[in-house]
Amino acid sequence: MRGRRAWLLSASLADLVFLYAPIAVLMLFSFNASRLSATWQGFTFQWYRLLIEDVALLAAVQNSLLVGVISTIIATVLGVSAAVSLERVPFRGQRVVEGALLLPLVIPEVMMGVALMLFFVLIKLPLSLVTVTIGHAAFNLPIVAVIVRARLHKLDPRLEEAARDLGATPWQAFRRVTLPLLMPAVLGGALMAFTISLDDFIVTFFTAGPGSTTLPLKVYSMVKSGVSPVINALSAILVLVSMALIGLSLALQREREGQK
């Protein structure tokens, strides 16, 4: 028994090392003084300084934030309305609609990218931050809908009914009773959508035009031109930012369960 557990534990720890060592090594070497070699040559902050001075990088960050915020707002509003109308209104064809809503989550991202690019080119909408935002809202909508619906499913329908019995209009009952109860899921879903938008490369790659470089596109072009400690520094920052965002999202979802 003890031997078996020890074996399982060491296999599990090996997996963790496999998952974390590359990220840790990347961050460690962002402080390495040598530009080219992978041997440690002393501690430096100079790669971070180079990052801060990179004007194009700053523009890319701004683009990413803009796309992230706007696409998240669209995806959240539409996702919540999809979740709300799918829950508790059994209607004919509901299964088809539900399947259609989930399809964007399963098809290969490359395919979604080329399909959107083809569409925008054919309707003659120039590829820009606008087309990127539209694409991000499209793949994030189902994600928000799924998260919000899971929470909605656990809510007691009698709460909203009670509000209606007490004379609230459907909108008032939704706005004052259901929505506040849904809020942790809505915020958690929105945060997740925002994170995915900030990280997205493939759909952005196909739908972005000249002058609409987002952060992942910038990272890609840097990576394509070769390994450099500046990318290590940028990676280290990105890792910390996504960890913070995910921590926040998980905290919101935990609160969601806590309220139950």
Q: Which of residues 69-108 bind other proteins (CB under 8 A)?
A: 74, 77-79, 81-82, 84-91, 97, 100-101, 103-104, 106-108
**170 near other proteins, rule: CB under 8 A:** yes
CB 96 within 8 A of CB 107: no
φ, ψ (nearest 5 deg) of residue 142: -60, -35
Span interacting with other proteins, options 45-53, 54-62, 64-72, 235-243, rule CB under 8 A? 235-243
**166 near other proteins, rule: CB under 8 A:** no
The pair of three-digit structure tokens given for residue 102, joined into one six-digit string:
């989930």
**37 near other proteins, rule: CB under 8 A:** yes
Q: How far apart are CA 143 and CA 185, in angstroms?
A: 11
CB of 157 to other proteins, least distance (A): 5
User: Which residue from 2, 11, 42, 210 is in contact with other proteins, where contact means CB under 8 A?
Assistant: 11
Q: Which of residues 171-190 bind other proteins (CB under 8 A)?
A: 173-174
The DSSP result for 57-124, as a single string, is HHHHHHHHHHHHHHHHHHHHHHHHHHHHHHTT---TTHHHHHHHHHHHHHS-HHHHHHHHHHHHHHTT
**150 near other proteins, rule: CB under 8 A:** no
Nearer to other proteins, 59 or 201 (CB): 201
Span interacting with other proteins, options 47-55, 59-67, 159-167, 183-191, rule CB under 8 A? 159-167
CA distances to 63, 148, 167, 189, 207 from 219, rounded to whole Å, are 13, 32, 55, 26, 17
